[in-house]
Chains A and B, each alone.
Chain A
Amino acid sequence: MATRMKLKLKTVFVLYFMVSLLGLVYALMQLGQRCDCTEHDLPKDRTISRLRGELHRLQEQMRKSEATKQPQKHAVKPSPPTIFVITPTYSRLVQKAELTRMSQTFLHVPQLHWIVVEDSPHKTPLVSDLLVKSGLAYTHLHMPTAKDRKLQEGDPSWLKPRGVEQRNEGLRWLREDRRAQPGGESQQGVVYFADDDNTYSLQIFEEMRSTQRVSVWPVGLVGGMKYERPVVEGGKVVRFHTGWRPSRPFPMDMAGFAVSLKVVLANPEACFDGEAPMGFLESSFLQGLVTMDELEPKADNCSKGLGSDPAVEV
């Protein structure tokens, strides 16, 4: 009888254990399932379905507005010329803030391709992540500046030209990339050099889209003055209104001109000369491309300030 008692107890334990194990397995399986929670958290449910309805409504709205836009666009041209913006950048405290601001501006411009060239031996994750999150069409390049050309600590910012290698790298990539595209040299596009510490209004991008060769416009807060601008007479640029070294072939700021893609591709040797004296950087590039009377004035014959150049200080 003792054995039987013993056996009974043992079986009881075993049964208990099996039952609890089964129950646990069942519950764990249930965890992965969606549940019917209509009795609980009703207000939250309502909010969620309301928000979802709102979401669909907005999506519908957008689709409708897009649909009404499309036929117009199709009537005019297949697609507007892409603006290729080449931005050299380098690592410093405010880099992320500057690039963020720029990306927020560029998001407003359709058909824009941002070419960011880092002054670094390799691509930094800060810039990579920022570009991915921005939602823009972009190309991320890098090109380190040679040590002797680099600004040292304590050097004033005008001592050595900045961004030369990076802009040239951007041009090189652009030429290579466009050559690989179908259509070859007859491609529509505009190339603009935008530094990461400037402010750009949105009209400037619309103005520059129609560039045939090289277009120019006023730039604010540069050259020791409130603005610099080309002087236009009879629809042509005759000279430049600038306070600093007006005898330069093209006395303007990097942000004051845009070059059409055709011209860039047609002159594969044209690039920025790092050895050029201070302020002649733009000229070193433009000299081979265009003469002053071929320049196209924008912004109401260069009477409106559209790009401006305040540097940012930490």
Chain B
Amino acid sequence: MAGKAGYLSSASRPLIPSTRKDEAHADSRSAEEEKYRAGTIARVTAEPQKNSSSAELNVVDFTAIQHLAETERTESNVDTAASLKPLQKDGQRLGSDGKELQEEDDCAGFALNIAFTPLETNFQEIYFDLKSSVNFTVESNVPMRTEAKITASYNNMENISDFSERPHWKWHDSGLTLEMPKRRDIVAIVLIVLPWTLLITVWHQSNITPLLATRKDDRRDGRSNFRNTFAFKESCSLQNRDIVEVVRTEYVYSRPPPCSDFLPTIHVITPTYSRPVQKAELTRLANTLLHVPNLHWILVEDSQGRTPLVSSLLLETGLNYTHLNVETPRNYKVRGDTRDPRIPRGTIQRNLALRWLRETFTANNSLSRIVYFADDDNTYSLELFEEMRSTRKVSVWPVAFVGGLRFESPKVNTLGKVYGWKTVFDPHRPFAIDMAGFAVNLHLILSKPQAYFKLRGVKGGYQESSLLKELVTLSDLEPKAANCTKVLVWHTRTEKPVLVNEGKKGFTDSNVEI
């Protein structure tokens, strides 16, 4: 029943739908006569027999058109074959659902096999019965531009009187056109695009185009330049750190460390006042500061004159220092030792230091100078001073033991900008930060000669804001200490020593300095 066709001719008669009775009839006759006319794929006769539930389909014209190129519209070198055979199992005819036919059924299952050769064969078995409409699709694995049109007619010869009962044929012909993405094509596209995207992103990152030449390596500083092209911004600060490390670990107890011409000088402003623990505090602080290269200590006493205790201490340490003094007027002074936050301590002294800096330095220095307010009872790690050396305007970092928390810190977003404050005590202050939590570049202070700590009418915790709001805005702040995640300064407070036994007989000799 099935026949193999050779070359096909284009369909000249689109058969189907089946409303064209006459044509079908005509076709069938001519088809029958010309059984194996060229172009015909297969011929199958279909004869519905009412009682035997069998029918045979006569596929008159079966055309496959394959477009390979625009110019070869009609040519095809595909062999196609189609066959229709009834479904049988052990001699029993099966219905279209694959089950055995009962006597009362008058439909039969047929299998229509269509094959495209030689490229990729595709067998599609299509089941249909005489009463239902049949869709059949042919999927082809041939290359993208294949278009197949299948036309077939159902030719029911003698026994069907009403042609309209014959099933409609529908066919797809658009599903096989070019736009259907095949897996292989997708793979190919991805493989082509991927290397280029990788290349472009990598190239873009390096921001230096000549990645092609090599450079003589200078290994004398012991740090490899392996990632030099990608880490230019870090390399400068790394070099700074190198110098500091060398200076710190190798100066072998010569204090203070030798001065470098390239490290920015840090000016540490410390207000201090006389009390029993003053010498101890200043000694401790001096021991810390002696480790920091290029440091200038500005010590401002809250006293009428410079006390010998402080003067001799400063001389002994060998630090680079400036000793100032200004007395806080009585109405500003804290009564006794109560920690009344409404009267900020040390304000006048810090303002004096700022004034001294403004008088001593002018704005045309090439090397930057950093100003840091360090109280004498806090603890500073040496890393802190290195972090603040790269301050351009105002840098900030977390401080431990303030605001009733383990530490307070600025809130830093993913872009590295400060947008808020992680504090419990009044986080809505313009700058909710402790005095020890920020450092200012001297250029900024010199450029705003009116910026001072406010004396009067400053609420508790707002003293830092009174200065900073005249200098910078929140967005100008530079977060340090690994984006404000490390604690490098502790707001320790010295316990007031218990001196209950003083004044008792013979105690103590007031000539001895403590």
Contacts and interface: CB of A to CB of B under 8 A. Distances in A.
B127 to A, nearest CB: 35
**Residue among B198, B213, B261, B379 with the highest chain A CB neighbour number at 10 A:** B379
B210 interface: yes
A27 B283 CA distance: 58
For this complex, into which size category does the number of interface residues on chain A fall? 35 or more
Interface stretch (A181-189, A208-216, A268-276, A305-313): A305-313
Interface in B238-271: 239-240, 242-243, 246-255, 258, 260-262
Contacts of B291: 104, 107-108
A62 B236 contact: no
A71 interface: no
Interface in B204-248: 206, 208, 210-215, 217-218, 220-221, 225-226, 228-229, 232, 235-236, 239-240, 242-243, 246-248
B186 interface: no
Interface string A24-48: 1001101111111111110010011
Given A62-B252, A101-B379, A224 B492 contact: no
Interface in A30-76: 30-41, 44, 47-48, 50-52, 54-56, 58-59, 61-62, 65-66, 69
Contact of B228 (A37, A54, A93, A110): A37
A49 to B, nearest CB: 8
A288 interface: no
A58 B243 contact: yes
A36 B284 contact: no
Nearest to A48: B239
B379 A97 contact: yes
Contact of B502 (A54, A66, A94, A224): A224
Interface stretch (A12-20, A114-122, A146-154): A12-20
A308 B195 contact: no
A218 B208 contact: no
A104 B235 CA distance: 27
B235 A48 contact: yes
Given A37-B228, A65-B254, A100-B381, A221 B277 contact: yes
Nearest to B313: A201
A92 B381 CA distance: 18
B290 interface: yes
A23 B401 contact: no
Nearest to A314: B401
By CB atoms of chain B within 10 A, which of A96, A244, A303, A314 has the most?
A: A314
Given A107-B291, A202-B287, A308-B514, A24 B212 contact: no
Contacts of B255: 108
Nearest to A30: B211
B210 A20 contact: no
A220 B243 CA distance: 38
Interface residues of B, number: 85
A97 B492 contact: yes
Interface of A: 2, 5-6, 13, 16-17, 20-21, 23-24, 27-28, 30-41, 44, 47-48, 50-52, 54-56, 58-59, 61-62, 65-66, 69, 93-94, 96-98, 100-101, 104-105, 107-110, 135, 199, 201-202, 218, 220-227, 229, 241, 243-244, 303-305, 308-314
Interface of B: 68-69, 72, 143, 188, 191-192, 195-196, 198-199, 202-203, 206, 208, 210-215, 217-218, 220-221, 225-226, 228-229, 232, 235-236, 239-240, 242-243, 246-255, 258, 260-262, 276-277, 279-281, 283-284, 287-288, 290-291, 379, 381-382, 400-401, 406, 490, 492-495, 497-502, 504, 506-508, 512-514
29 contacts: A2-B68, A2-B72, A13-B188, A17-B191, A20-B199, A27-B203, A33-B214, A34-B229, A35-B214, A36-B213, A40-B208, A47-B239, A54-B261, A55-B239, A56-B220, A58-B246, A94-B401, A97-B400, A104-B287, A105-B288, A108-B255, A199-B280, A201-B283, A221-B497, A221-B499, A225-B508, A305-B512, A310-B280, A314-B401
Given A35-B229, A58-B243, A110-B253, 13 more contacts: A20-B192, A28-B202, A32-B226, A34-B217, A37-B208, A41-B232, A48-B236, A51-B240, A52-B221, A101-B288, A225-B499, A308-B280, A312-B494
